[in-house]
Chain A
Amino acid sequence: MRAFTTLTGKVIPLDRANVDTDAIIPKQYLKSIKRSGFGPNLFDDWRYLDPGEPGMDNSRRRPNPDFVLNDPRYAGGSILLARKNFGCGSSREHAVWALDDYGIRAVIAPSFADIFFNNSFKSGLLPIVLDETEVDALFAAVTATPGYTLTIDLEAQAVSTPEGRRFYFEVDPFRKHCLLEGLDDIGLTLQHADEIRAYEAKRRQEAPWLFAAE
């Protein structure tokens, strides 16, 4: 996994609550058997005026001028700012891959849906929970200031504004460690293979029906 330490990036304000994974990456793109290439279809239904299908040349489609990703002001942004319950809906990790592929490295919102939150860490995308009032303040600043950037420091668990304000956020120590080091979960878990085997052997005794296949 790619490590995450610090990031300074332009902010894209997506002023919506309950942004669901169907909106982040619509179902027709889930047919891919790859992990990459989803960026051009991030927020596809909102971003383009014409319907999209896999394999289309997106440069020939009609962009929706009212959608924030098409606003030249926010081009090249790497931090997405959104409202509560971001990433609700399906478990599709494609939503994280699409954000990542587009160049988003962190999402700031007052709350996230559990599965999306979990998935984010697996691809080195940092979901940051800030208070509703702090998020409000950021929305106001971003819309008022062209080229607004934030700096995120994972080690310090802080988001700093250009005016010098600092907002602190929580992150599980274990996840933070994995992210800072860019560690592979599976490799880490397999270091405990003996413990897994021991657990398994005990369970086979206690609850043998769990191990009986058809």
Chain B
Amino acid sequence: MSGKTLYDKLWDAHVVRSEEDGTALLYIDRHLVHEVTSPQAFEGLRLAGRHPWRTDSVLAVADHNVPTTDRRHGITDPVSRQQVETLDENCRVFHITEFRMDDTRQGIVHVIGPEQGATLPGMTVVCGDSHTSTHGAFGALAHGIGTSEVEHVLATQCLLQKKSRNMRVRVEGKVASGVTAKDIALAVIAEIGTAGGTGYAIEFAGEAVRALSMEGRMTLCNMAIEAGARAGLVAVDQTTIDYLKGRPYAPKGALWEAAVAAWADLHSDEDAMFDREVVIDAAEIRPQVTWGTSPEMVVPVDMAVPDPDAEPDRVKAESMRRALEYMGLKAGMPITEIAIDKVFIGSCTNSRIEDLRAAAAVVKGRHVADNVKLAMVVPGSGLVKRQAEEEGLDEIFIEAGFEWREPGCSMCLAMNADRLEPGERCASTSNRNFEGRQGQGGRTHLVSPAMAAAAAVAGHFVDVREF
């Protein structure tokens, strides 16, 4: 019998019972909750007279609707305010820990979980949010769920699941300087497509993945969902352990020692079998820029906007045409000639301290170009913000003409006041370039923090390796 993959191990350790057709009741160790996808779940509990099974497994935070400017006056949009207040109230009534808007620990749910050590190796982690895949960077089985499932997990501590298939993406060799985890993620999506990972859990492996910091691994796993996979995974190693040590929710003392010993097994066995394996040469990866309205519509920065006429697949060519029209671009145009109106550095993909350091290093001593109407940095959490301020990054950004904001999802999906106006073009470090994602009619180009920073200074996309 062949060995087990990391996914197999995590799955097997959490099965409470199985139905004949393979549907399993999977035990959930950590449940993260935010304001957008939870109100109907709490309402469901209330209507059925049910209670949360294990409140100490739940951690809640409001992130999607919160303003990124002065918070002293609360949320002005009454609908957004009601949603945040509903979360506050549900957490109060059901005795759930919540980092409220005025708490320094508040931030994007996928940033604060790991930051607090609330995400641990070997856990199952769920959240009513597709980017829960982020937490897989810790060797945890983590994926997004819908609101009915949020209610199910609250009520039963379990999830009804069918096992996914195993895929491994090995990124072998070293990436060139200026090439980041974001570029690896986009290059993987370019390779397998946005539906390539559908039905799979993707384990990211190989020398270039091992070399990534935890921040980088989180960026990579974060975008597993853009590749179609509900869960991304990276095996546990010393980098994982060093990151977690001493974090508030991480175990302490003897418990920590026992945990670290158990985590040594959280990797795929040598002889484990994968249903699909993809190998990518790290040295080939160049800084990536999306040109269309799906993350798979992406090319290296030194290339041109592709031509739909050269695409043999009719449905694909049609989507390309529609995307070019929406994006206001012409086939054959060099990526570096695309001028931008706004810059957004933030989101659960790229708002951690390392991302901000990378962007600050590019803008230091330079200034945002005149044609750029707004360049903003939105740290992923209050703690990331404080750390950045201790390092003086805020001043670098402000001197360069950036706005330095309060933490939250912000212009990643524009549920708060931060958004693109119709036709505006944005260099964004977020994860989705769908039509209207950052504001109706807005045009999003996904890039790494360093690439976004360089674009802010130049006023158009540039190759950060030559900047």
Contact = CB atoms under 8 A, between A and B. Distances in A.
A58 interface: no
Given A122-B149, A172-B23, A89 B256 contact: no
B147 A89 contact: no
Interface stretch (B272-280, B338-346, B383-391, B430-438): B430-438
Given A22-B437, A33-B82, A210-B120, A111 B415 contact: no
A34 interface: yes
Contacts of A195: 16-17, 25
B437 A189 contact: no
B194 A18 contact: yes
B375 to A, nearest CB: 22
B408 to A, nearest CB: 14
Contacts of A33: 39-40, 43, 82-83, 86
B213 interface: no
Nearest to B252: A212
A143 interface: no
B358 interface: no
Interface stretch (A2-10, A66-74, A112-120, A158-166): A112-120
A17 B319 contact: yes
B415 A118 contact: no
B258 interface: yes
A178 B241 CA distance: 42
A83 B317 CA distance: 13
A26 B158 CA distance: 30
B210 interface: no
Contact of B16 (A51, A89, A196, A214): A196
A118 B86 CA distance: 26
Contact size class for A?
Answer: 35 or more
Given A20-B434, A85-B198, A192 B129 contact: no
B48 interface: yes
Contact of B145 (A20, A84, A91, A196): A91
A18 B434 CA distance: 10
Contact of B25 (A83, A113, A189): A189
Interface in A92-122: 92-94, 96, 111-115, 118-119, 122
Interface in A1-49: 15-18, 20, 22-23, 26-28, 30-35, 45
Given A22-B432, A195-B16, A213-B249, A31 B415 contact: yes
B155 interface: yes
B195 A113 contact: yes
A199 B27 CA distance: 8
Given A22-B436, A196-B25, A210-B122, A119 B146 contact: yes
B16 A115 contact: no
Interface in B193-249: 194-195, 198-199, 228-230, 248-249
B83 A93 contact: no
Given A173-B20, A196-B25, A186 B144 contact: no
Interface string B379-416: 00000000000000000000000000000000001110
Given A88-B228, A186-B155, A93 B147 contact: yes
Interface string B85-124: 0100000000001000000000000000000100010110
Contacts of B432: 20, 22, 89-90
A42 B315 CA distance: 23
A114 B146 contact: no
B295 to A, nearest CB: 9
Contacts of A27: 413-415, 437
A67 B48 CA distance: 40
Given A26-B436, A114-B198, A17 B160 contact: no
Contact of A83 (B48, B158, B315): B315
Given A54-B79, A185-B152, A209 B130 contact: no
A85 B195 contact: yes
A212 B25 contact: no
B128 interface: yes
A90 B129 contact: yes
B25 A90 contact: no
28 contacts: A15-B318, A16-B322, A17-B315, A22-B436, A27-B413, A30-B64, A31-B79, A35-B40, A45-B440, A91-B145, A92-B146, A92-B147, A113-B228, A115-B144, A119-B148, A122-B146, A122-B149, A172-B162, A174-B20, A189-B155, A189-B158, A192-B16, A196-B25, A209-B259, A211-B56, A212-B255, A214-B97, A214-B249
Interface of A: 15-18, 20, 22-23, 26-28, 30-35, 45, 51, 54-55, 83-85, 88-94, 96, 111-115, 118-119, 122-123, 172-175, 185-186, 189-190, 192-193, 195-196, 199-200, 203, 207-214
7 closest Cβ contacts across the A-B interface?
Answer: A122-B148, A119-B146, A33-B39, A209-B251, A93-B146, A91-B144, A85-B195
